[in-house]
């Protein structure tokens, strides 16, 4: 079907199998969502506001319980009640739209917190890795600064560094440029592009259609609680199969 379909024998990094998620009695957000994310690929989740993109990412990271279905990380069912949720979250890096960094801590302390406290990495080693990542993401001089001294774009890049500091298997990026001034969007998307080059597996919820088209291996259009359309950017943007996809794309692009 698509070039990103997991090759026979290769285990997807993440698999959602008929996932259902409701809030309370009346809000059915994910009705039946199935999705495979192959290693070293980028998946873009698109869909109108309220279509469940953030909920999907939160379920994948076990921040939300699901009502039905199953989620697998590297072939292991993480929605099994016996799963150690903290251990799962240690393998997944997450960056949200905004307010990612602790304001009362330096950039360096923000980044080394999880490696030191959660992963038991020695301070010296954690700081060395943090500085190396900061350098790579163009923030070499910012280690000692507090977040409010950084621009929005620099803060998001620091948040990405923090997510990377624990060497995640998978990175979830939830509209990470949505709160940024337009002139700062490019520097953050550039980082995502670089991470893709390095082979990082990522799922991003985004309204940046041009970027999704450019960087994603797989596009998933969420609509009505299902992945209504899934395929390569050329398929989904160039030749959408569903009228609803066409309508969404014509509104947003
Ligand atoms: P998107 O990220 O695509 O904009 P969301 O996943 O944030 O969509 O939201 C999907 C739907 O779920 C919305 O109707 C939203 O109001 C609802 N929702 C999300 N989180 C909660 C929650 N904690 N409690 C109740 N409803 C929620
Ligand atoms: Mg959202």
158, pLDDT greater than 90: yes
Atom of ligand 1 nearest to the CA of 52: 6
pLDDT at position 15: 98
Atom of ligand 1 nearest to the CA of 55: 6
pLDDT at position 14: 98
Mean pLDDT of 49-61: 97
CA 42 – ligand 1 centroid, Å? 23
DSSP state of 235: I
pLDDT at position 100: 86
pLDDT at position 99: 76
pLDDT at position 9: 63
pLDDT at position 253: 59
CA 118 – ligand 1 centroid, Å? 29
Residue 33, SS3? strand
| Mode of pairing for the β-strands spanning 76-77 and 27-37 | unpaired
5, pLDDT greater than 80: no
ipTM of predicted assembly, 2 dp: 0.98
Cβ of 224 below 6 Å from ligand 1 = no
Cβ of 27 below 6 Å from ligand 1 = yes
Cβ of 47 below 6 Å from ligand 1 = yes
Residue of minimum CA distance from atom 13 in ligand 1: 50
**Which of the four pLDDT bands, split at 50, 70 and 90, describes residue 65?**
very high
CB contact at 8 A, 116 and 128 = no
pLDDT at position 3: 46
Integer Cα distance of 59 and 253 in angstroms: 28
pTM over 0.80: yes
Residues 84-134 have pLDDT tens digits of: 998 999 899 999 998 789 999 999 999 999 889 888 899 999 999 999 999
Q: DSSP states of 80-96 as a string?
A: STT--HHHHHTTEEEE-
Nearest to 48 by CA among 170, 211, 152, 175: 175
Mean pLDDT of 34-63: 97
Mean pLDDT of 214-241: 96
Atom of ligand 1 nearest to the CA of 175: 2
For the CA of 22, the nearest ligand: 1
Cβ of 206 below 6 Å from ligand 1 = no
Residue with more model confidence, 8 or 101: 101
């Amino acid at each position: 079907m698509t070039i990103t379909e997991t090759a026979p024998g290769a285990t997807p990094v993440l698999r959602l199998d008929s996932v259902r998620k409701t809030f309370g009695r009346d809000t059915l957000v994910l009705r039946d969502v199935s999705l495979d994310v192959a290693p070293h690929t980028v998946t873009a989740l698109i869909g109108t506001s309220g279509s469940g993109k953030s909920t999907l990412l939160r379920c994948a990271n076990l921040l939300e319980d699901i009502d039905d279905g199953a989620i697998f990380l590297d072939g292991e069912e993480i929605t099994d009640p016996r799963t150690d949720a903290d251990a799962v979250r240690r393998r997944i890096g997450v960056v949200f739209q905004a307010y990612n960094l602790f304001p009362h801590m330096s950039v360096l302390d923000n980044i080394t917190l999880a490696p030191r406290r959660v992963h038991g990495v020695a301070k010296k080693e954690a700081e060395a890795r943090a500085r190396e990542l900061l350098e790579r993401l163009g923030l070499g001089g910012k280690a000692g600064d507090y977040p409010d001294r950084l621009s929005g774009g620099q803060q998001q890049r620091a948040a990405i560094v923090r997510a990377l500091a624990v060497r995640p298997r998978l990175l979830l990026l939830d509209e990470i440029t949505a709160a940024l001034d337009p002139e700062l969007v490019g520097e953050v998307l550039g980082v995502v592009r670089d991470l893709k080059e390095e082979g990082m597996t990522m799922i991003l919820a985004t309204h940046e259609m041009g970027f999704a088209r450019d960087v994603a291996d797989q596009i998933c259009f969420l609509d009505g609680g299902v992945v209504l359309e899934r395929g390569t950017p050329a398929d989904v943007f160039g030749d959408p199969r569903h009228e609803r996809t066409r309508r969404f794309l014509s509104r947003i692009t």
